[in-house]
A and B are shown apart, each in its own frame.
Chain A
Amino acid sequence: VEDRLLELVDAYLENRLTDPETGELRELLRTSPEARQTFWEYVEQHVLIDDLLAEARGRDLALAEEAAPGSSGVRGCRPVIGDSTPSPQPLSPKGRGASQQSRHLDGGRHFSAWAGALTAVAAGLLLAVGLWWRAPAPEPLAMVRALGGDVQVIDLSGKMVPVTTDAPLAVGQALHVGDEDSQAEVSFADGTQVTLGAGTDLRFPASARKEARRLHLDRGAVQVQAAAPALVVTTDHARITASATRFRLYREATASRVELEEGKVRLESPAGTNAVEVDEGSFAVATAEARPMVPQPLPPSHCRLRHTLLRAGDAVCFSRDGTGLIASHFSRGWKAWDTHDGTLRAAAPGSGQRASGLALTPDGATAVALGNAGTAMLWKIGEPQPVKTRLREKQLRCGAVSADGRWLAQGTGTGEVALWEADPGHGSISLRQSVPLKPSRVVLSCVGPHLAVSRWGGDILVFEAKTGREVGRYKLRRTPAPLALSADGRYLAAYASSDGLVLFDRQADARHTLWPGEVTRVEHVEFSADGRTVLAGLDDGTVRAWATADGRPVLVLDTGHRLVNRVTASADQSLLATVGDNDCVKVWECALR
Chain B
Amino acid sequence: MANDRAAAETVQGLFLQHAAALRGFILGLLPDRAAANDVFQEVFLTVTQRAEQYRPDSSFLPWARGIARNKVLEHFRRCRRQPQPFDDRLLEVLADAAGRQDDAWEERRAALAECIQELAPRARQILELRYAEAPASPPEIARQLAWTVNAVHVALARARKFLQDCTRRRLAAGGA
Contact = CB atoms under 8 A, between A and B. Distances in A.
B116 A47 contact: no
A354 to B, nearest CB: 9
B160 A332 contact: no
A293 interface: no
A49 B93 contact: no
A68 B27 contact: no
B60 interface: no
A49 B116 contact: yes
Contact of A83 (B16, B31, B99, B128): B16
Contact of A68 (B9, B21, B40): B9
B31 A68 contact: no
A126 interface: no
Contact of B160 (A42, A309, A312, A344): A42
Given A6-B160, A14-B153, A331-B134, A70 B100 contact: no
Interface string A79-118: 1000110000000000000000000000000000000000
B94 A45 contact: no
B127 A49 contact: yes
B164 A42 contact: yes
A330 B17 CA distance: 27
B40 to A, nearest CB: 7
A343 B45 CA distance: 8
B27 A69 contact: no
For the residues of A in contact with B, the DSSP-based class is helix
For the residues of B in contact with A, the DSSP-based class is helix
A6 to B, nearest CB: 6
A44 interface: yes
Interface residues of B, number: 58
B16 A63 contact: yes
A444 B17 CA distance: 43
Interface in B33-64: 34, 37-38, 40-42, 44-45
A518 to B, nearest CB: 30
Contacts of A332: 34, 37-38
Interface string B97-132: 111110001001100110010000000000110011
B109 A52 contact: yes
A15 B32 contact: yes
Contacts of A513: none
A26 B84 CA distance: 12
A332 B134 CA distance: 10
A53 B164 contact: no
Contacts of A40: 24, 28, 94, 97-101
A435 interface: no
B5 A70 contact: yes
Nearest to B138: A14
Contact of B112 (A49, A54, A57): A49
Contacts of A71: 9, 12-13
B34 to A, nearest CB: 5
A423 B35 CA distance: 31
A52 B134 contact: no
Contacts of B163: 45, 49
Given A30-B93, A48-B112, A10 B157 contact: yes
Contacts of B157: 6-7, 10
B12 A17 contact: no
B156 interface: yes
Interface stretch (A31-39, A394-402, A426-434, A471-479): A31-39
Contacts of B164: 6, 41-42, 45
Contact of A36 (B21, B31, B94): B94
A45 B20 CA distance: 10
B109 A48 contact: yes
Contact of B93 (A6, A36, A53, A79): A36
Contacts of A342: 45
- What 5 pairs across the A-B complex have the smallest Cβ distances? A47-B24, A36-B97, A43-B28, A68-B12, A44-B24
28 contacts: A6-B157, A6-B164, A10-B153, A22-B85, A29-B94, A30-B93, A37-B100, A39-B97, A40-B100, A41-B164, A43-B28, A44-B105, A47-B21, A48-B112, A49-B163, A51-B109, A53-B127, A54-B131, A54-B133, A56-B116, A67-B15, A83-B13, A309-B41, A310-B37, A331-B135, A332-B37, A344-B38, A347-B38
